[in-house]
C-alpha cells in the first residue's frame, strides 16, 4: 500500500484500532457536533496564553497522589523519570497497567484514572473527547501551560494535528527534531565500493552504472535490496530527481491545489527507471517479499551492496575486518549540477498522549505536570528535567549533551549499557513530549553514530520540502462516505499496477497500457478522493 495515498486509506484501515503505541500513525475522524467556527479558540482569546503565569516548583505545597494508566508495561520497577518528577513537583503518580487487549473494555467501564500516559488514536479521542466530552480540553488550561503553547507556536503543525474537529485539544503530540527522523535513506557497503574503485553515485545515471558494476563484479547477484512503495526510503531518495514532487502520491502543487500524481509523467518516469533496474537484475527480484532479516542476511553474505530498511541492524561481525563499513547516499539528481532535494523529516507524531479525565479533581495540577514535558530547557536549574527527560531521562543523569555536538546515554548509575529495553523498563514508560536533539549525534562509535553522521551530513542539508500533512486531516460524514466507497479498491489497484509495471507484467513504456491505467485510476475514484483531500486540506490550512 502507498504511504502518501494512505492519507485516505489509513482513515479506513485504522478506524478499527482503538489504541496506538508510541510512534504509530493515527486515523482521523469526521467532525463532531461543535461548530469549529464558533467553538475553537486561539491562544490570546478567552483562555489566555500563559503570559501572566510563571511555573514554580513544587507544583503543590502538600504532596498529592494521582492515578495514571499505561498500556502493556512491565510494572516490576519504578521509572526514574517519574521519581524525579515527584521530587520536583510533589505529585506522586500511581501507575496502573492495562494490557492492550483489555483496553477497550477498560474504557467502556468509565472507571478511569486521573490521566492516561499512553497514546490514543483519534477514534478513541473522538468517541470520548469530541462526542463524550469526558476528556479535558487543553484549550481551557492554556494560561497555566506556557511551555506547551510556546511549542505550539514554534511547531504550528503540532497544534493543528492535535486539534479535533470540534476545536478541542484532548491529547498532545510527541514532537521529535533529530537527525534520525529523515526518510531519504539509502546505505551501501563502502568497503565494496572502495575495493573496486567505485565512487558513491550522485545522479540517476551514476546510480545505474554503479549498480551494473556491482552486479557484474559480484557474480550477477542483485546489488539493490530494499522495499518499494510511496514514501519508502528508496522513493524518498530518487523520486525528486524525476520532477517536482518529493514522493509519489498526494501533495500541494505549490499553489494550494492538491494533486495525486500517480498519473503524472514524473511517476511514470520513476516507474520506468525501477522497471529497468528490475529487468536487468539490479533490483532484487523478490523485493516484494523480503523482510528485514532476509535483507540483512544478503548484506552479510555480501550480495546486497545498496540497502535501506535493514541498515540499522548491520553489525561489525558482518565485515571481514570487524569494522562497520556503511556509507550514506545523498538524494539523487537527474544530472550533475542539479541541487538535491528531499522531503523534510517527520517532526510531529500525533498520538494523543497525556489524555486527562475531565472528572479528575486534579486537572490543573496534572496540566502543570504535563507542561514540563514540553519545556525546551530545564524547568528548575540542576534537575535536568524538561522535554528531553521525558524521552531519555534527566539530562546529566541519563543523557549528556556534549560541547562537540554529540550526546551520550548512560544508565542511572553511569553504566554504558543504555538499551531501549533499559529505557522503557527503568526510565520512562515511552517517549513523550518534545525531544529536541537537532543536529546532535551519539558519541558512541558504531552503527548508530555512522548512520546519524550520514543523515546529518548527506541528507538533512537537502531536506527542504515540507511533508504534506494529509495524515492530520479530518473529514465530514459525506467525505468519509466517499473514502469508504473508493479508497480500498483504488489503493489495491494502485499497488498492483505499480508492481506490474516494475516487474514488466505491464509495459510502462507502452502508451496504450499507460492510458488504460490512467483511465482505471479515474474509474476507481482518484478524482473524488482528490476532492475530499482538497476540502480537508483547505480546512486544515484555515485553522
- Condensed to tens digits (0 to 9), the pLDDT of residues 255-305 reads 999 999 999 999 999 999 999 999 999 999 999 999 999 999 999 999 999
Three-state DSSP at 173 gives strand
CA distance linking residue 115 with residue 70, whole number of Å? 9
Instruction: Note the pLDDT of residue 51.
Output: 60
Give residue for cell 463524550: 132
Q: Which residues of 482-509 are buried (b: 16+ CB within 10 A; e: fewer)?
A: bbeebbbebbebbbebbbbbbbeebebe
Q: How confident is the model at residue 32 (pLDDT cuts 50, 70, 90)?
A: very low
* pLDDT tens-place string over residues 402-432: 999 999 999 999 998 999 999 999 999 999 9
**37 confidence band (pLDDT: 50, 70, 90):** very low
User: Among the listed ranges 33-37, 82-86, 188-192, which one has the minimum average pLDDT value?
Assistant: 33-37
Element (H, E) at 486: helix 477-503
CATH of 187-345+444-465, one of 3.40.630.30, 3.30.70.20, 3.40.30.10, 3.40.190.10: 3.40.190.10
User: What is the CATH code for 31-174+349-392?
Assistant: 3.40.190.10
Q: Which pLDDT score, from 0 to 100, does residue 466 have?
A: 78
- The H or E element spanning position 172 is strand 172-177
- pTM, entire model: 0.84
How much is the average pLDDT of 66-95?
97
- Domain ranges, ordered by start, for the chain: 31-174+349-392, 187-345+444-465, 470-542
Task: Indicate if 187-345+444-465 has the same CATH topology as 31-174+349-392.
Answer: yes
415 contacts: CB under 8 Å, gap ≥ 6: none
CA distance 227 to 52: 52
The pLDDT of residue 198 is above 80:
yes
Q: From CA 383, how far away is CA 133, in angstroms rounded? A: 36
The mean per-residue pLDDT over the stretch 213-240 comes to 95
Res. 18: pLDDT tops 70: no
pLDDT at 40: 35
Tell whether the model's pLDDT for residue 401 goes beyond 70. Answer: yes
pLDDT tens for each residue of 446-474: 999 999 999 999 999 999 877 788 888 88
Exposure b/e, 64-95, CB count within 10 A at least 16 = b? bebbbbbbbbeeeeebbbbebbbebbbbebeb
Asked whether the predicted pLDDT for residue 177 surpasses 60, the reply is yes
Q: Are 344 and 463 in contact (CB under 8 A)?
A: yes
| Averaged pLDDT for residues 522-543 | 93
**Taking 90 as the threshold, does the pLDDT of residue 495 lie above it?**
yes
Q: What is the pLDDT of residue 126?
A: 87
DSSP 333-352: BSSTTPPP-EEPPP-EEEEE
User: For residues 390 and 82, is the Cβ–Cβ distance under 8 A?
Assistant: no
Number of continuous H segments (helices) and E segments (strands) in the chain: 19, 18
Name the grid cell of 341.
532535494
Q: What percent of the chain stands above pLDDT 90?
A: 78
130-173 pLDDT per residue, tens: 999 999 999 999 999 999 999 999 999 899 889 888 899 999 99
Instruction: Output DSSP code: residue 383.
Output: S
Average pLDDT, the chain: 89
Cα distance between residue 482 and residue 525, in whole Å: 9
Amino acid at each position: 500500500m502507498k504511504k502518501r495515498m494512505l492519507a485516505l486509506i489509513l482513515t479506513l484501515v485504522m478506524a478499527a484500532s482503538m489504541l496506538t503505541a508510541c510512534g504509530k500513525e493515527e486515523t482521523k475522524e469526521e467532525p463532531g457536533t461543535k461548530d469549529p467556527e464558533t467553538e475553537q479558540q486561539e491562544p490570546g482569546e478567552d483562555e489566555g496564553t500563559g503570559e501572566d503565569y510563571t511555573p514554580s516548583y513544587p507544583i503543590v505545597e502538600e504532596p498529592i497522589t494521582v492515578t495514571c494508566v499505561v498500556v502493556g508495561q512491565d510494572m516490576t520497577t519504578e521509572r526514574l523519570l517519574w521519581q524525579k518528577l515527584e521530587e520536583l513537583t510533589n505529585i506522586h503518580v500511581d501507575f496502573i497497567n492495562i494490557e492492550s487487549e483489555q483496553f477497550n473494555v477498560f474504557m467502556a467501564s468509565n472507571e478511569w484514572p486521573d490521566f492516561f500516559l499512553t497514546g490514543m488514536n483519534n477514534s478513541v479521542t473522538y468517541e470520548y473527547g469530541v462526542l463524550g466530552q469526558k476528556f479535558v480540553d487543553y484549550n481551557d488550561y492554556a494560561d497555566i501551560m506556557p511551555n506547551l503553547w510556546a511549542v505550539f507556536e514554534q511547531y504550528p503543525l503540532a497544534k493543528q494535528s492535535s486539534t479535533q474537529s470540534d476545536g478541542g485539544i484532548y491529547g498532545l503530540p510527541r514532537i521529535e527534531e533529530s537527525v534520525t527522523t529523515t526518510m531519504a535513506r539509502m546505505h551501501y557497503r563502502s568497503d565494496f565500493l572502495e575495493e573496486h574503485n567505485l565512487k558513491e553515485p550522485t545522479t540517476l545515471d551514476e546510480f545505474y552504472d554503479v549498480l551494473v558494476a556491482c552486479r557484474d563484479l559480484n557474480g550477477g547477484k542483485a546489488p539493490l535490496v530494499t522495499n518499494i512503495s510511496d514514501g519508502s526510503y528508496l522513493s524518498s531518495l530518487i523520486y525528486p530527481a524525476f520532477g517536482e514532487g518529493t514522493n509519489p502520491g498526494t501533495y500541494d502543487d505549490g499553489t494550494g491545489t492538491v494533486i495525486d500524481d500517480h498519473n503524472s509523467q514524473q511517476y511514470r518516469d520513476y516507474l520506468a527507471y525501477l522497471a529497468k533496474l528490475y529487468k536487468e537484475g539490479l533490483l532484487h527480484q523478490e523485493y516484494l517479499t523480503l523482510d528485514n532479516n532476509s535483507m540483512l542476511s544478503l548484506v552479510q553474505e555480501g550480495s546486497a551492496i545498496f540497502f535501506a530498511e535493514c541498515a540499522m541492524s548491520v553489525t561489525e561481525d558482518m565485515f571481514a575486518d570487524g569494522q562497520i563499513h556503511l556509507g550514506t547516499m545523498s538524494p539523487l539528481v537527474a544530472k550533475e549540477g542539479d541541487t538535491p532535494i528531499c522531503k523534510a523529516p517527520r517532526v510531529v507524531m500525533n498520538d494523543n498522549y497525556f489524555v486527562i479525565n475531565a472528572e479528575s479533581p486534579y486537572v490543573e495540577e496534572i496540566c502543570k505536570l504535563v507542561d514540563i514535558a514540553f519545556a525546551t530547557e530545564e524547568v528548575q536549574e540542576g534537575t535536568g528535567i524538561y522535554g528531553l527527560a521525558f524521552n531519555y531521562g534527566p539530562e546529566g543523569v541519563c543523557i549528556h549533551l556534549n560541547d562537540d555536538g554529540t550526546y551520550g546515554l548512560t544508565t542511572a548509575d553511569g553504566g554504558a549499557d543504555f538499551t531501549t529495553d533499559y529505557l522503557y523498563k527503568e526510565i520512562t514508560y515511552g517517549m513523550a513530549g518534545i525531544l529536541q536533539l537537532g543536529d546532535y549525534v551519539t558519541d558512541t562509535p558504531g552503527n548508530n553514530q555512522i548512520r546519524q553522521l550520514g543523515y546529518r551530513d548527506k541528507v538533512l542539508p537537502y531536506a527542504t520540502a515540507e511533508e504534506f500533512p494529509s495524515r492530520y486531516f479530518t473529514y465530514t460524514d459525506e467525505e468519509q462516505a466517499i473514502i469508504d466507497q473508493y479508497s480500498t479498491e483504488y489503493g489495491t489497484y494502485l499497488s498492483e499496477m505499480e508492481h506490474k509495471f516494475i516487474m514488466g507484467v505491464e509495459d510502462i513504456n507502452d502508451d496504450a497500457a499507460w492510458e488504460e491505467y490512467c483511465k482505471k485510476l479515474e474509474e476507481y475514484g482518484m478524482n473524488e478522493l482528490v476532492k475530499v483531500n482538497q476540502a480537508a486540506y483547505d480546512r486544515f490550512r484555515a485553522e
